[in-house]
Structure 1
Amino acid sequence: MPFKLPEYHHPDFSLPQFVSAPEVKWELVEKDGVAPEYFHSTSMYPEYFKIGGRWVLAEESRMDSSVVICEDGHLEVVENRNLKQGQKVILGRSEQCQEGIYVHNTGFETEETSEKEKFVFRQGRSRETSYARDYDNLLELLKYEKEHGNILWVMGPAFSFDHNVRKAMQALVENGYAHGLMAGNALATHDLEGALLHTALGQDIYTQVSMPNGHYNHLDVINRVRRSGSIPQFIEDYKIDNGIIYSCVKKQVPFVLTGSIRDDGPMPEVIGDAYAGQRAMRQLVKKSTCVICLATMLHTIATGNMTPSFRVLEDGTIRPLYLYTVDADEFVVNKLLDRGSLSATTMVTNVQDFITIVARGLGIMD
């Protein structure tokens, strides 16, 4: 069945709880980077605030930030560390109109999702879960998002260790199923190692046989990329013609690589400042309508915490923002849910199998 976006159900602001609700309270920021006491902290759901008799939506919400009332009446969601002296920050810790704040977490709810039985078997997400319907839904979603949305992939280095996986992801990028990519130094390093030397961490990416002195391979690749000065220049210098990063450069798909304290090198494009990396990641998240996080716990949690459950389109339409997290470890996908990103669809499976199933399901890989 062709994919269709669910309709957003706006709150009924004529109900007594909205009509009788007080105006929101706010206080001025006294010191840069410090919120007033009793600041309201945002979630990934649509949140409305009663200002001047109207209920105003904060259009770009995310976890754990404050809401600033701008001079033009627009509401800006800002991390506390980025608050500036003199800004008006909304106060309140309730969410059902008591303080002029309403968190609307049922906007996309349907009869199917709202009438679940209280006790049924197999409602958790584990290795034993059947994901057949999830795959079918995801394939239809990706076809829709390719034409109408923005698909963002968040990837761990496991994708660079296997020949067929690199081939599958390259096919997804080159066939328009990727509009952005976020990863760390390791994915780029080992993917380019695979492109140049047919190894990842010194192992052949097809046979998994370790090469003599193969532990030097990724270091040699990093050194050569640094000598070239950038990843695109390295691709040109060494006539690279395959892989995930190659396909992103070829198709001009933006990517953000953020570093960690254990990185080798790193690649020239890797952002070492954690907060600068977070800002760069957020620029890709802000454009996205579908985010798929694969085999990277810290990047997944970081992305989940900066990703709302909805997106306001240019014409004012509110649509869902789909977030998938896929990992072979149940702990990782449950960790995202434990952090409060309750709108995620989780799948416990080997991500290498996952990406080849998706590519073949879309008919772009043999």
Structure 2
Amino acid sequence: MSFSLPRYQEPDFSLPTFKNAPCARFEPAPCDGVAPDDFHATSIFPEYFQTNQGQWSLPVCSRMDCVVVNLDGALSVVEPRRLRQGDMVCVGRHENGEDGIYVHSEPFPAPPGSTAQFAFRTRMTRESSFSIDYDELYSLLRHERKHGSIVWVMGPAVVFDHDSREALEHLVREGFVDALLAGNALATHDIEASLYRTALGQEIYTKQSSPHGHYHHLDALNVVRKAGSIKAAIDNGSITNGVMNALHDKGIPFVLAGSIRDDGPLPEVYADCYAAQDAMRNIVQKATTVMALATQLHTIAVGNMTPSYTFTKEGQIRPVFFYSVDMSEFVINKLANRGSLSARSILTNVQDFLVTTARGLGI
């Protein structure tokens, strides 16, 4: 199946809706970290602001639930916690031009008379057919390997199984992973599998419990902490295979966000949640496709910071594709309910998904 990027359709600013619209209003932030009353909160969609009559501006980097700051005519999308007193913040709650703000909710329409190959669809169920979704995904991933940036958001279940862990390692080594966002658990249990061939003490292929296996993830943490870092444990020969090993070998960035329930943690884990958010955001800004597997809160967090569009190196606007893969309909619908309406869902066991995807890509 061939792939082509959907074309961006800019709003027709010659329409009366825009011609008669006022300029967007900007008011100063009353103090650090506080927006003025009636502030405009951004969405995942392209948003235009009329800064001067007839001049509609689109911020380059956007994200959900932020504010828009005007600095001498240049618009920036800023997390409210980063506001400084006096920053000029866009105000207004109408989004169809009435306040000089236009939210472009259909930026990539299907050509007339055709079916959009990557039309955004939500509310999938276990009864849905997913064969075409896999074929479209293979085409997308092959395209993005050459022309984009594929960011994977992972829960630990993906490394609890021998075949899915191996499939993910192959995806990394074959260039289908440009960054990984996860928590302490994924890296810990991947390293446990490398050291002891177990995850939480259970053999990752036979599912047999190992004697004293409940120590294995703690021992794995101890090995890495003794070495000083994951990289050092790889370099000294302790970690010889797996996902973290492949990321190291390929020089692929990863962010491990800490949790209140973490053991250890690994030295690379961010203990400060806002530092983790910043590190994740730096990676998401470069993403053209996001693959989120079996991690509800992490998926929602990344969904909230991922816009539905980005700019190519040539300055063209293109979509950001977002896939949510889980065996729970609740998780899939939760993402949609949070406002990440452009997420496509595949309801399946993520271990099966990874193996199927690797085979479909011929690796």
Task: Determine the C-alpha separation between the residues in 1 that align with 2:272 and 2:209.
Answer: 34
Alignment map for 1:1-366 (pairs within 5 Å): 1-53=1-53, 54-71=55-72, 73-111=73-111, 124-364=123-363
1:69–1:123 CA distance, 2 compared to 1 (3 A): closer
Deviation, structure 1 residue 265: 0.4
Deviation, structure 1 residue 127: 1.1
Deviation, structure 1 residue 62: 1.3
Deviation, structure 1 residue 114: 9.7
Aligned pairs, how many? 358
Q: Quick one: percent identity of the two aligned structures?
A: 54
AA partner of residue 56 (structure 2): W
Deviation, structure 1 residue 347: 1.1
Task: Determine the C-alpha separation between the residues in 2 that align with 1:261 and 1:240.
Answer: 26
Any conservation in 1 of the 2:39–2:67 contact (CA below 8 Å)?
yes
Deviation, structure 1 residue 240: 2.4
Task: Determine the C-alpha separation between the residues in 1 that align with 2:168 and 2:74.
Answer: 39
Deviation, structure 1 residue 115: 8.8
Task: Determine the C-alpha separation between the residues in 1 that align with 2:138 and 2:104.
Answer: 28
Task: Determine the C-alpha separation between the residues in 2 that align with 1:329 and 1:113.
Answer: 34
1:68–1:113 CA distance, 2 compared to 1 (3 A): farther
Any conservation in 2 of the 1:145–1:289 contact (CA below 8 Å)?
yes
TM-score if structure 2 supplies the norm length? 0.96
Task: Determine the C-alpha separation between the residues in 1 that align with 2:83 and 2:63.
Answer: 15
**Counterpart of 1:287 in 2: which secondary structure?**
coil
Task: Determine the C-alpha separation between the residues in 2 that align with 1:129 and 1:77.
Answer: 37
Deviation, structure 1 residue 181: 0.2
Any conservation in 2 of the 1:8–1:319 contact (CA below 8 Å)?
yes
Query: Which structure 1 residue ranges, 5 or more long, are not aligned?
Result: 117-121
Any conservation in 2 of the 1:46–1:59 contact (CA below 8 Å)?
no
**Counterpart of 1:196 in 2: which secondary structure?**
helix
Any conservation in 1 of the 2:51–2:57 contact (CA below 8 Å)?
yes
Task: Determine the C-alpha separation between the residues in 1 that align with 2:112 and 2:128.
Answer: 19
Task: Determine the C-alpha separation between the residues in 2 that align with 1:315 and 1:329.
Answer: 39
The C-alpha deviation readout for 1:109-139, integer Å capped at 9, x for no partner, is 11579999xxxxx984111111001000100
TM-score if structure 1 supplies the norm length? 0.95
The C-alpha deviation readout for 1:236-278, integer Å capped at 9, x for no partner, is 2234221111100110010000011000000000001111111
Any conservation in 2 of the 1:29–1:86 contact (CA below 8 Å)?
yes
* RMSD (Å) for aligned C-alpha atoms: 1.6
The C-alpha deviation readout for 1:206-258, integer Å capped at 9, x for no partner, is 10100000000000110110111100101122342211111001100100000
Deviation, structure 1 residue 199: 0.5
Deviation, structure 1 residue 160: 1.2
AA partner of residue 92 (structure 1): G
**Counterpart of 1:168 in 2: which secondary structure?**
helix
The C-alpha deviation readout for 1:77-120, integer Å capped at 9, x for no partner, is 1111111112110001011000000000111011579999xxxx
1:112–1:253 CA distance, 2 compared to 1 (3 A): farther
AA partner of residue 50 (structure 1): Q
Task: Determine the C-alpha separation between the residues in 2 that align with 1:48 and 1:251.
Answer: 39
Task: Determine the C-alpha separation between the residues in 1 that align with 2:254 and 2:241.
Answer: 16
AA partner of residue 59 (structure 1): V
AA partner of residue 166 (structure 2): K
1:123–1:76 CA distance, 2 compared to 1 (3 A): closer
AA partner of residue 102 (structure 1): Y
Query: Which structure 2 residue ranges, 5 or more long, are not aligned?
Result: none
Any conservation in 2 of the 1:155–1:294 contact (CA below 8 Å)?
yes
AA partner of residue 35 (structure 2): A
The C-alpha deviation readout for 1:295-329, integer Å capped at 9, x for no partner, is 00010000000000000223220000000000011
Any conservation in 2 of the 1:150–1:179 contact (CA below 8 Å)?
yes
